[in-house]
């Protein structure tokens, strides 16, 4: 299991500056529905003819059903988001030469020059709509960079994994890390940065399915990053300890199998000083977008504040692996009062035993029930006293009967405050225990509740229109939403101009998200649109925005010198930071290369040789011999050498 034997990309250079959050427009986290981008293709005054036409890039980015970026986003978001509303324009020709663009020191200018060329085009003018994200693809390569939450810049030699990675920055995601802090992906990377090859946000050091189209298929986002996007439904998240149960056996389904039963992520908080500091547990299997990962594996990350953002830190085995960036992900954990171990795995699921000593303190006026030694459900003191008395009243057991030795005497039933709680109590007390369990979240100290990356700021709560509705609204709107949901069936006309979901007179579809056909008043519908527009600003701020920008570094890439970056740039009135990396994938295997060439339908391979970091293929088609050079293995189309 050495790096060279794996289909891992090695990042050769990257540039990074601090994260200064930027919010552009109404479509922002949590992401639901279309995420509209303007994709612009630009060449320079001296560029050779690009190898691919706009339809190729439409398939790579915005078209559905092509195994490109739109399919990727749609799939990993479990259908919650896609690129609908996006458009692609070009090729435009900028007035400047390639050398001029390469020499620019302001990297955003490279993006801006393309935006300007599109606007000034005499034949196909295009102005990027205000607030829309921008993705510029140039020919040839001049830069590879993501501008946080706003824009990205790549080239026509950049493969889908990197295109997707910069898209990730464009929707606000940051890099992933590992605990192997004596390893650096490249000299100027942070210690352990880019060291989760199972997560898109470690590209170019990621597992790529080399048989994928457009230069290979990237792996999924890690579970925390999916959660951050709002792409894991609430019912599929277990926050251990939040309901007072500190130890349990839980089944998690592989990230690529959201249709399976079980949780998609387990959060295990352990830091009473920082409710966003927790472990995450996820399960990955080698199929779907994860087809490039080496094998099925449990992944445990620590989510922690690095001073600029909450980073995911993959916990690897260190020991003899320390400093290699290559330790396998740990399959069990015993640290900070938390333990995780695998009970069993099946094809698509892992069953784990998880426990934590971290219990949420109760809100004022409530105390732990302590029906068992680990019961931390918050109840009123009278219930706690009652619970202790019931525990002591063992004589209520009949000592035998239809429920075995735990059968209760007449008039008593099992309390079931926790699984297998066979203390015999009155039916009223059993009901009380069930009610207390259901209200567990309401009676803990709210300041320590971990609701994860989409926690609402003060004064707001999730709208909860459905299991994936993370939009933060007032308590009043939340109540209105519940009322509207309950009345949904009664407000439908049953048939009409809009089909079976047509609303009765006076009502309209709420459309709080695409296909939200709950019928509400026009005022409520307007409220939903307004709340959606303000969703990002109402989230709890997790980033340390006051941090000064980190130094920007320069470096070399396979594509040549990458110029010195500006620390930050202005986009409209907001400041954005750059998050950049160049890539240099190691040579792929001959069989993968042959598969790719076959897919390209460029002819029969007569000869295939690896020369340095370039595959050279001699092919014949219709009696014509061509030599193709693949300068980078992620290049979707080769250069015709002769
Ligand atoms: Zn990056």
Give per-residue pLDDT as tens, 292-317. Answer: 999 999 999 999 998 888 999 999 99
One domain for residues 315 and 166: no
- Predicted local confidence at residue 619, as pLDDT: 79
The domain in which residue 27 lies consists of 6-172
One domain for residues 82 and 137: yes
- d(CA 567, ligand 1 centre) in Å: 15
Once rounded to an integer, what is the mean pLDDT over residues 483-487? 97
- Predicted local confidence at residue 604, as pLDDT: 84
H or E element, residue 149: none
Q: Which two tokens stand for residue 279?
A: 């472990």
One domain for residues 426 and 484: no
One domain for residues 227 and 156: no
386, 417, 443 - which closes a domain = 443
Is residue 611 in some structural domain?
yes
- Predicted local confidence at residue 402, as pLDDT: 84
H or E element, residue 71: helix 69-76
- d(CA 14, ligand 1 centre) in Å: 8
Once rounded to an integer, what is the mean pLDDT over residues 606-628? 74
- d(CA 162, ligand 1 centre) in Å: 9
Nearest to 532 by CA among 515, 512, 517, 509: 512
- d(CA 193, ligand 1 centre) in Å: 10
Is residue 486 in some structural domain?
yes
- d(CA 506, ligand 1 centre) in Å: 49
Is residue 292 in some structural domain?
yes
- d(CA 153, ligand 1 centre) in Å: 12
- d(CA 166, ligand 1 centre) in Å: 6
- d(CA 58, ligand 1 centre) in Å: 23
- d(CA 521, ligand 1 centre) in Å: 44
- Predicted local confidence at residue 589, as pLDDT: 62
Is residue 632 scored above 60 in pLDDT? no
One domain for residues 380 and 268: no
One domain for residues 246 and 332: yes
- d(CA 165, ligand 1 centre) in Å: 6
One domain for residues 67 and 150: yes
- d(CA 175, ligand 1 centre) in Å: 6
Is residue 231 in some structural domain?
yes
One domain for residues 484 and 534: yes
- d(CA 307, ligand 1 centre) in Å: 17
143, 172, 201 - which closes a domain = 172
Nearest to 568 by CA among 550, 545, 593: 550
Backbone angles phi, psi at 452, to 5 degrees: 80, -165
Q: What is the count of structural domains for the chain?
A: 5
Three-state DSSP state, 432? helix
Is residue 89 scored above 70 in pLDDT? yes
Nearest to 453 by CA among 193, 210, 136, 237: 237
- d(CA 196, ligand 1 centre) in Å: 12
Is residue 86 in some structural domain?
yes
- d(CA 619, ligand 1 centre) in Å: 36
d(CA 386, CA 383): 5
Give me the percent of the chain exceeding a pLDDT of 90: 62
Q: What is the DSSP letter of 589?
A: P
157, 172, 187 - which closes a domain = 172
Backbone torsion region of residue 400, taken as left when φ is above 0, otherwise alpha when ψ lies between -120 and 50, otherwise beta? left
Once rounded to an integer, what is the mean pLDDT over residues 93-109? 94
Is residue 163 in some structural domain?
yes
- d(CA 202, ligand 1 centre) in Å: 7
- d(CA 112, ligand 1 centre) in Å: 20
Mean pLDDT, the chain, as a whole number? Answer: 84
Is residue 217 in some structural domain?
no
d(CA 313, CA 468): 25
- Predicted local confidence at residue 638, as pLDDT: 44
One domain for residues 385 and 301: no
One domain for residues 376 and 347: no
- Predicted local confidence at residue 84, as pLDDT: 96
One domain for residues 10 and 140: yes
Question: Which residues have C-beta under 5 Å from ligand 1, the single-atom ion?
Answer: 579, 581
Is residue 558 in some structural domain?
no
Nearest to 362 by CA among 453, 447, 457, 274: 447
One domain for residues 20 and 168: yes
- d(CA 361, ligand 1 centre) in Å: 38
Q: How far does CA 304 lie from the centroid of its chain?
A: 16
- Predicted local confidence at residue 599, as pLDDT: 61
Most confident segment among 336-350, 351-365, 561-575: 336-350
- d(CA 186, ligand 1 centre) in Å: 13
């Amino acid at each position: 299991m050495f790096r060279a034997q794996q289909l891992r990309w090695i990042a050769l250079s990257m540039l990074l500056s601090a994260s200064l959050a930027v919010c552009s427009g109404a479509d922002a986290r949590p992401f639901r529905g279309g995420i509209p981008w303007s994709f612009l293709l630009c060449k320079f005054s001296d560029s050779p003819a690009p190898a691919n036409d706009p339809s190729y890039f439409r398939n790579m980015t915005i078209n559905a059903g092509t195994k490109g970026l739109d399919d990727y986003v749609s799939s990993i978001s479990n259908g919650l988001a896609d690129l609908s509303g996006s458009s692609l324009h070009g090729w435009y020709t900028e007035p400047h030469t390639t050398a001029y663009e390469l020499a620019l020191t302001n990297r955003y200018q490279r993006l801006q020059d393309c935006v300007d060329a599109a606007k000034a085009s005499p034949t196909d003018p295009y102005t990027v709509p205000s607030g829309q994200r921008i993705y510029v693809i140039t020919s040839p390569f001049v830069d590879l960079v993501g501008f946080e939450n706003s824009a990205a810049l790549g080239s026509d030699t950049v493969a889908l994994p990197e295109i997707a990675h910069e898209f990730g920055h464009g929707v606000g995601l940051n890099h992933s890390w590992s605990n192997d802090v004596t390893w650096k992906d490249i000299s100027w990377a942070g210690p352990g940065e880019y060291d989760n090859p199972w997560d898109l946000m470690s590209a170019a050091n990621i597992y790529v399915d080399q048989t994928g189209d457009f230069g290979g298929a990237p792996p999924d986002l890690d579970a925390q990053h999916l959660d951050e996007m709002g792409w894991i439904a609430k019912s599929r998240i277990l926050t251990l300890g939040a309901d007072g149960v500190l130890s349990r056996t839980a089944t998690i389904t592989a990230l690529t199998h959201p249709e399976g039963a079980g949780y998609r992520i387990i959060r295990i908080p352990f830091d009473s000083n920082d409710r966003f500091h927790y472990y995450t547990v996820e399960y990955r299997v080698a199929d779907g977008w994860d087809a490039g990962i080496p094998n099925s594996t449990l992944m445990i990350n620590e989510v922690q504040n690095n001073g600029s953002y909450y980073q995911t830190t993959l916990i690897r085995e260190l020991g003899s692996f320390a400093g290699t960036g290559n330790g396998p992900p740990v399959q069990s954990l015993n640290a900070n009062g938390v333990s995780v171990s695998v009970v069993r795995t099946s094809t698509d699921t892992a069953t784990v035993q998880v426990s934590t000593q971290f219990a949420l303190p109760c809100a004022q006026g409530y105390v732990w029930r302590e029906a068992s030694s680990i019961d931390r459900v918050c109840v009123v003191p009278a219930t706690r006293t009652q619970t202790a008395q019931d525990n002591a009243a063992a004589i209520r057991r009949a000592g035998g009967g239809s429920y075995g030795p735990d059968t209760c005497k007449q008039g008593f039933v099992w309390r079931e405050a926790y699984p297998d709680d066979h203390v015999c109590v009155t039916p009223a007390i059993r009901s009380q225990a069930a009610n207390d369990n259901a209200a567990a979240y309401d009676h803990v100290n709210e300041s320590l509740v971990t609701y994860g990356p989409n926690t609402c700021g003060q004064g707001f709560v999730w709208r909860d229109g459905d299991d994936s509705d993370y939009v933060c609204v007032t308590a009043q709107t939340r109540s209105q939403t519940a009322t509207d949901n309950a009345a949904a069936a009664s407000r439908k006309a049953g048939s009409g101009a809009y089909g079976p979901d047509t609303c009765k007179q006076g009502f309209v579809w709420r459309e709080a998200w695409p296909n939200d056909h709950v019928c509400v008043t026009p005022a409520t519908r307007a409220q939903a649109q307004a709340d959606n527009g303000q969703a990002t600003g109402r989230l709890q701020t997790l980033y340390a925005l006051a941090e000064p920008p980190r130094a920007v570094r320069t470096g070399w890439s396979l594509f040549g010198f990458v110029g010195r970056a500006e620390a930050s740039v202005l986009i409209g009135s907001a400041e954005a930071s750059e998050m950049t990396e160049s890539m240099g994938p190691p040579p792929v295997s001959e069989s993968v290369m042959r598969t790719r060439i076959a897919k390209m339908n460029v002819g029969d391979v007569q000869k295939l040789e690896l020369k340095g970091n370039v595959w050279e293929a001699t092919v014949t088609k219709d009696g014509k011999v061509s030599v193709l050079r693949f300068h980078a293995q992620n290049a979707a189309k080769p250069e015709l050498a002769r």
